[in-house]
Structure 1
Amino acid sequence: MISAFMMAMAAQASEAKPDWRAVAIADVNAAYRLFAENHPGMANPEDPAFPARLAAAHNASLKIAFETRDWDGYDRALDAFTDGLSDGHAFVVASDEPGKVWGKRAWPGFTAAWRGHSLYVHRAGPNSPAPVGSRILSCGGTEVEQLIRSRNRGLWFRPAEAGQWWNMGPSLLMGSIPPEPDQLKSCSFQLPDGRVQSASLRWERMPAVIFDTYRRAFAGEETPIGLSEPRTGVWLLGLSSFSPDEKGQAAYRKLHADIDRERAKLLKARAIVIDLRFNSGGSWLWGHDVARRLWGAKAVDERMNHFFRDVRIAWRASRDNITKLSAAIGKIRAGGHAKEADEVQTIVTGMEEALAAGQVSFIERPSFGDGRQQGDSPTDLDTPVYVITHGGCSSACLDAIDTFKRFENVKLIGAPTSADTTYMEAPRGALPSGFGVIAIPLKTWMHRPRKSGEGYQPDIPFNDLDWSTTAFLERIESDLQAVGPAPASR
């Protein structure tokens, strides 16, 4: 009897809900300690306000944590911490709520897409309250822009970055069955003919094909990693990820071989289209390798050395950071980048020496090739190059654009990108409770030409609702006809 009673009590205890107030306070305090001990901003002369910003994020988060009673409060507390840092590489975020049973995906008969400065009906089903191309003005009496700001926070939305609106706009009109408490019930539309009408939303189960439409709404059609010639004389390079798995790494090896084999044709092509849609970053090496094969290793390396001539990279010397960076060496080597793996080992050694000497950081000077800084080294590639950009392009995706834009024959086409700060290389780990995730950058770029929070605007804005590859190729054809043959690159 006693044994059975004790077993029942133990089972009840294991099913008891966490003390979310205690969990939130402990995780928020742990996050602050880990950031203070490991983040390079604590010793960055170019960002002297970071310690105060971190303290303010901690205080705002802790205030919510003390009032927390459930998982929602825990989630909001971590988001407040992340909001205070406003950096896609530095965050704390809650994992899914334990035991949460999500409803079935639902849509109100249409999908939405952000274009320019507004939200539009992107695809309409039979029960859509408005046709394709209608501008969505407000929902539930609140303007769309304010709704997007209020419903997206923390890691998921940085409103100062233009590309973030393209990314998050479509999610405003996603729902579930049964509906969430705050699910939208009505919206007001400006129809293509100029009339304004309001309508109730009828939420229904989302067909699988419609979920893919949400992805197309913010980034269009994904081009697989590889090289193809979809039109005579127009070559398409798919760079959809800089975080490739084994299959993706094999695709990059084939892409490199294909570029090398077809380079003579690329030199005489009408256009080269580099497609970055769906690329949200990863390792800068993948984009750099492609650039060296296109424009030539010497031309790329010298231009990048000139671009980064004043840059120094400060790696925060801490035991945690050394452990994390050491763990990456094998992965870099496995990706076929032995030279770069050796360079990371040199950085690890420098961090260890700095830590032993009581120094806060190890300072690295980036260098490419033989280190020469000539900024206008010649290239034989004068083919017009169009780089398709999207709102989610950040981190290493931006690094690739930094490289591509060193050449005069490059135009960006698409959407404004997201941005990043100068804090980089941010491996993820678990918060002490196991209910959340933390990411802390290991290094900061000092004197980087592209400033913190600076993204890219397209040379050719593409605000059409149709973001298919065919639509982009048509627009590129029009630009080629308008500008005529491109001048030779130097």
Structure 2
Amino acid sequence: MQRLLTASAAGLALVLGAGAAVAQDFRALARQDLTAAHDALRDNHPAAVLPGPASQFFRDWLDAGLADSLAKAAQVNSGDAHAYLMRYYGAGFRDSNIDITPTFEGLGPYFVTGWPGFTTGWRNGAYEVTYVQPGLRGAPPIGAVLVECQGKTAEEMAMVRLDRWEGDLTTEAGRVRSAPYLLWNRNNQWTGGVPGSCKFKNGRRSRDYDLRPQPIEPGTIEAAYRATVYMPGATPLAVEQVNGRPWVHVHSFADSAGWDAFNAQIEGDIASLHGPQGFVLDLRGASGQSYRSTTRGYGLANRIWTPEFTVSRQPAAGEITYRATAGNRQWFVETLARMEADPRFVQESAPVIEETRAIIAAFDAALEANQPLFTLAGRPAVQDTGAPNPVQGQVVVLVDSGCSGGCLDTLDLLTRLPNVRLAGATTATDSIFIERTDVRLPSNYSDLSYGHKAWTSRQRPSHQPFKPAEGLTFTGNPADEAAVRTWVGTLF
């Protein structure tokens, strides 16, 4: 869909259709979509009826967040404003498995309407300058730490300008990935443009700087962001030799990443991966939310370590609690249809298909009995098979704030394997509310996504990230690939 055109403060915009212009009142659309998202979550999300601390914040924000967001809806005057307000409500649940995203070409990571010519990053608990446009005069130097802007501390600025709008600042990952936007104008009318002046501390000295919006040159904003936050390259799956040992790149769990060729490469290099020199498994930036993503990660581990060795080290599935609603049942019906239509999935994952059929039957029984929830036992733990570890050397699993979704599930297994060390930076978080379903909201401009079942017995608590141990945390510039590789080499 084409970008929506900003119209006027009256909240009207023109959306160009097939030969016609249609007036849209984005204030009304925002109110409609907010209410629809609230009702869908109230009626289908497990946390609405499941007792326990993991559910309490959801219930608190469900109504309070709706009231907060509806109060802001009068200011919605464009498609971008609509997208920001929907994101604000979704992010307020503090659950990475709940979000509301635009269906049109929205605000990508490099979108900006104004910037001061430099970028800040989240480094060692502070916002510091990470990039300065070449030739820019009067800017704070790289490494200078933001102190305040016009009477507001850096933390106050971040909470107003970033939290919920650009990320969840209650998490380390949310801080890292939203930090470049702290002083940028991203066309969010609730947070303002580029500040007029800010104070930075460089060493022992503090100094005020006037911030003036700079011209936006092609490629500059992307370069500024990439100089601050690690972003995977164009080839997310690959194996290369670095300093005499394999470096396995897994920067995505998406279906489109090219898994067939990558798995063939892993199998072709298996002797090297098993060698005494060890290898690096690079999961920086890896994400994936589909039902296949965890399967991808476990499949990779099985190819490297063999299923016989990993099976007894996989975390038990334990109990899964389902919210018994017709909408949640329909998700499984549609998922089953996709599974059965995929010949490879039918061949490789027949037990998953049978399990899905059993879940649908359990939905039918619970709905007939008017039960709000039902619980099914998952795969139990498996005793050690006695299979030897085929990997002779040390393994460094490299992670960062971009490791989310299926990446976290994969770490649940990898961190249980011998001679495996987690290194890099703190990962993203997820909740026990898993298996996301998507709902198109009434305006047709936003999709609501949420986890519709609860992994109530998951050993990793809700919202708990993976964090490398002391000595295994990289404190340098995460976007400096040469520095990262040199540092990882010291871990062997």
TM-score normalized by the length of structure 2: 0.81
Residue aligning to 1:318: 325
The total of aligned residue pairs comes to: 454
CA distance in 1, matches of 2:260, 2:23: 51
Cα distance, 1:175–1:36 mapped onto 2, change above 3 Å: closer
Amino acid paired to 2:462: S
CA distance in 1, matches of 2:273, 2:182: 42
The question of 1:237 aligning with 2:248 is answered yes
How far apart are residue 19 of structure 1 and its match? Answer: 7.0
1:446 aligned counterpart, secondary structure: coil
- Indicate if the aligned counterparts of 1:234 and 1:269 stay in contact, CA closer than 8 A: no
- Indicate if the aligned counterparts of 2:148 and 2:199 stay in contact, CA closer than 8 A: yes
Residue aligning to 2:13: none
Cα distance, 1:196–1:221 mapped onto 2, change above 3 Å: farther
CA distance in 2, matches of 1:337, 1:238: 24
Residue aligning to 1:90: 98
- Indicate if the aligned counterparts of 2:253 and 2:297 stay in contact, CA closer than 8 A: yes
1:133 aligned counterpart, secondary structure: coil
The question of 1:351 aligning with 2:363 is answered yes
Residue aligning to 1:10: none
How far apart are residue 258 of structure 1 and its match? Answer: 1.9
- Indicate if the aligned counterparts of 2:38 and 2:66 stay in contact, CA closer than 8 A: no
1:130 aligned counterpart, secondary structure: coil
CA distance in 1, matches of 2:122, 2:339: 37
CA distance in 1, matches of 2:430, 2:385: 25
The question of 1:108 aligning with 2:116 is answered yes
From 466, 478, 482, the counterpart of 2:490: 478
From 114, 131, 134, the counterpart of 2:144: 134
1:87-486 equivalent positions in 2, closer than 5 A = 87-92=95-100, 105-124=113-132, 125-127=134-136, 129-154=139-164, 156-175=166-185, 181-191=192-202, 193-202=203-212, 203-222=214-233, 224-245=235-256, 248=257, 251-282=258-289, 283-304=293-314, 307-308=315-316, 311-329=318-336, 331=338, 334=342, 336-338=344-346, 339=349, 340-367=352-379, 372-374=382-384, 378-459=388-469, 460-480=472-492
The question of 1:34 aligning with 2:40 is answered yes
Cα distance, 1:45–1:15 mapped onto 2, change above 3 Å: closer
How far apart are residue 221 of structure 1 and its match? Answer: 4.8
Amino acid paired to 1:27: D
Residue aligning to 1:8: none
1:314 aligned counterpart, secondary structure: strand
CA distance in 2, matches of 1:416, 1:178: 28
How far apart are residue 312 of structure 1 and its match? Answer: 0.6
Cα distance, 1:31–1:252 mapped onto 2, change above 3 Å: same
2:451 aligned counterpart, secondary structure: coil
CA distance in 1, matches of 2:177, 2:183: 13
- Indicate if the aligned counterparts of 1:222 and 1:278 stay in contact, CA closer than 8 A: no
Whichever structure has more helix as a proportion of its residues is: 1
CA distance in 2, matches of 1:402, 1:103: 34
How far apart are residue 220 of structure 1 and its match? Answer: 4.7
1:441 aligned counterpart, secondary structure: strand
- Indicate if the aligned counterparts of 1:395 and 1:420 stay in contact, CA closer than 8 A: yes
2:467 aligned counterpart, secondary structure: coil
CA distance in 2, matches of 1:75, 1:321: 25
2:491 aligned counterpart, secondary structure: helix
CA distance in 2, matches of 1:457, 1:382: 25
CA distance in 2, matches of 1:103, 1:276: 26
CA distance in 2, matches of 1:67, 1:171: 21
Cα distance, 1:104–1:358 mapped onto 2, change above 3 Å: closer
Cα distance, 1:42–1:65 mapped onto 2, change above 3 Å: closer
- Indicate if the aligned counterparts of 1:111 and 1:173 stay in contact, CA closer than 8 A: yes
RMSD: 3.4
The question of 1:57 aligning with 2:68 is answered no
CA distance in 2, matches of 1:19, 1:132: 40
Amino acid paired to 1:478: T
How far apart are residue 167 of structure 1 and its match? Answer: 0.9
- CA offsets, 1:229-251, max 9 Å, x none? 33243211111111232xx2xx2
How far apart are residue 116 of structure 1 and its match? Answer: 1.9
The question of 1:69 aligning with 2:79 is answered no
Percent of paired sites with the same residue? 23
How far apart are residue 423 of structure 1 and its match? Answer: 0.4
CA distance in 1, matches of 2:54, 2:184: 41
Which range moved further: 258-267 or 284-293?
A: 258-267
How far apart are residue 139 of structure 1 and its match? Answer: 3.0
CA distance in 2, matches of 1:444, 1:396: 16
How far apart are residue 33 of structure 1 and its match? Answer: 2.5
2:235 aligned counterpart, secondary structure: coil
1:393 aligned counterpart, secondary structure: coil
